[in-house]
Amino acid sequence: MDTQVADPLVGTLIDGRYRVRGRVARGGMATVYTATDERLERTVAVKIIHPGHARDSRFVERFDDEAKTIARLTHPNVVAVYDQGSHLGMPYLVMEYVRGRTLREVLTRRRRLTPAEALAILEQMLAAVAAAHRAGLVHRDVKPENVLIAEAPSGGPDNLIDAVVKVTDFGLARAVAASSPDSSETQVMATVAYVAPELVTSGHADPRTDVYSAGIVLFEMLTGQVPYQGRQPAEIAWQHVDRDVPPPSMYAPGLPPVLDELVARATRRDPGARPTDAGAMLAEVQVAREDLGAVNTPTTVMRQIAEPTVVVSPVSPGTPVSPASPTQRPSWARLPDQRPARAARAAPRRAAATRPSGPSWRERARDLHRRLVAHPQGRIALMASFVAVVLLVAFGAWWFGFGRYTVTPDFVNLTKAQADQKAQEAGFTLRYDTGRYHEEIAKDTVIGQQPAPRARIVKGGTITLTLSLGPERYQVPDVVGKSYELAVVDLEQRKLVPERRERYDDNMPAGNVLAVEPAVNTEVKPGDKIVVWVSRGKAPITVPNVIGRNVDEAKTVLQNMGLFVTVEERQSDKPKGQVIEQSPNDGAGVEPGATITLVVSSGPPQVQVPDVTSTHSLPCAEADAALRGAGLTPKLLGNPAGIAVAQQPPPGTMVDPGAEVNIWCQ
């Protein structure tokens, strides 16, 4: 099970009914949880759409429509949809919970399957997709991850021939594609390893698109690998457009030719050359499966005099029937017209066996040649035909070798608008690939073309141009609150380099991201380092409140807790030596050895003693008023009605506010 630290949905009651028990998987569009339907007391699967899609109103509207359509699909090989709704603004589906494995997990463990196993699984896949096609739905994302395999009722986990196969995720890719304003150009929702050529070139999908993807899945089941590999998704996608899928026997020698033919039929680059929908392909798969059963069954040849050869397939009493036999398939893996299909294929063979033999084509050709040569007009006609064929071959050789070719124009360094105009004037068709980033060339400027400038090209042919995407820049994704592992995935998808740093935090669970540097949405280049601050959980020491205490007492309390103390002084109206501020504040969590900074009062600002004697001798009453006005406490000695003749402290001395000043009066 895919786990994540402190998933907030685990344990949540959705819609007052579905209690979330655990997370099963997380994908690009949604997360799947197991839940208990507390009303019906059954286990279900809940698929909750990610908030990024949930904020798109067009997606939510299309998702609701698709969910209602999918819920009407009733078929044993389709994962049933029970309910749909919205939780905290995020749309969700409640579906049948299938206890088993995905086809991807089976292939990871087994690598490849036997032909009988592959065809048994493919039959049920196509039966499910055919039901969707009849309802007007196109899956758009047929791949092993969306095929669930439940344990066979009649065997263990390795009995794949009788296992129950169910297909999931109908309509979700279509809903996402429909919500994108530029889905025709940038949204190829199918996984690139299984994408049909028409989805890459035009974004168009119909039932034949699913047939192509099913053919790739069959190729992978038989060979243990997909037909195309590449460093970039776009590179893999365009291989589907430019190349034919190789026969599976190239990678798995010994496979029967009927399987090569089946894969080739399903994966034609031209959609018109494929079976029209999943139902048509299902019929071909069932015929191929029956052919394999016939090939694997021992045969005995019995001959009679003056009678045609008869091929008899004996089955002795007690001999088990081959697993590929249609009589042993579960009811949900057979179509009603299987027997007629087999009979229809057998009829031409029987007719060919009983048809009387005649002269071969070689004998007929020799007879025609003798009759032509024996007659003068026949010889002239034969010579004229020979000359016509020579001229036609010569013209064809010139045309296909030289006449239909011209020189490719140079489009490099032109803008897209200029390239379109130049191609239109020269009579060429342009096709644009996915483009390439360039640090110096402006966006939408041609930086490459195929064929190259001045190369040979068919007149009116197609030229593929590569446009500059401008400097490659990415925004730092919002990964705050996610687990560090998921944050790394998001950053590496944008070609950024995460650097992990940790600190304690009282509010964020351990292992989750606290902050990133540079900040979220900052524009950065590929390869830039992103510092990811990860929570270590709540700190082991809680800082106490020492404000108002004497600095010595506060230092003793903090040092006894294993903390380091620094002191700063600041003037204030508080008594000298009293703590007036602390950092971190009380209640904060820190680790042993952390530094606590205390701000200690140095007392109120001192006052300068005014001069009330010597050159400024004042009557004692005025001296008293002057000292009190300066915030000091005068003490008159001698005759209060006399003149101030001396003072202590002397004039200009700095003293604390309220300090006592003695005045001698005469």
- Which residues participate in catalysis according to the annotation? 141
CA angle 388, 389, 392 (to 5 degrees): 85
- Say whether the peptide bond before residue 308 is cis (omega within 30 degrees of 0): no
Tell me, what amino acid is at 103?
A: L
Cβ-count burial of 290 within 10 angstroms (0-12 exposed, 13-18 middle, 19+ buried)? buried
CA distance 179 to 608: 77
- Which DSSP string corresponds to 228-277? ---SSHHHHHHHHHHSPPPPGGGTSTT--HHHHHHHHHHT-SSGGGS-SS
How many Å is the maximal CA-CA distance in the chain?
170
Assign 451 to helix, strand or coil: coil
* Number of other residues whose CB lies within 10 A of the CB of residue 373: 11
* CB 559 within 8 Å of CB 546: no
- Please list, in sequence order, all residues whose beta carbon lies within 8 angstroms of the beta carbon of residue 97, skipping any fewer than 6 positions away: 34, 43, 44, 45
- Say whether the peptide bond before residue 76 is cis (omega within 30 degrees of 0): no
CA distance 84 to 92: 6
CA angle 285, 287, 293 (to 5 degrees): 105
Of the CA atoms within 13 Å of residue 182, those in its CB half-sphere come to 2
CA distance 2 to 16: 25
CA angle 45, 46, 49 (to 5 degrees): 145
CA distance 84 to 150: 24
* CB 534 within 8 Å of CB 511: yes
* CB 87 within 8 Å of CB 15: yes
* CB 496 within 8 Å of CB 527: yes
C-alpha closest to that of 572 among 555, 595, 551, 554: 551
- H or E, element range at 394: helix 376-398
CA distance 234 to 437: 14
Please report where in the chains the tokens 């990415």 appear, as a residue: 474
* CB 149 within 8 Å of CB 162: no
- Which DSSP string corresponds to 532-578? EEEE--S-SEEPPP-TTSBHHHHHHHHHHTT-EEEEEEE--SSPTTB
**Listing from the earlier edge strand, what are the strands of the sheet with 164-167?**
100-102, 147-150, 164-167
- H or E, element range at 106: helix 103-110
* CB 275 within 8 Å of CB 281: yes
Tell me, what amino acid is at 461?
A: G
CA distance 460 to 270: 21
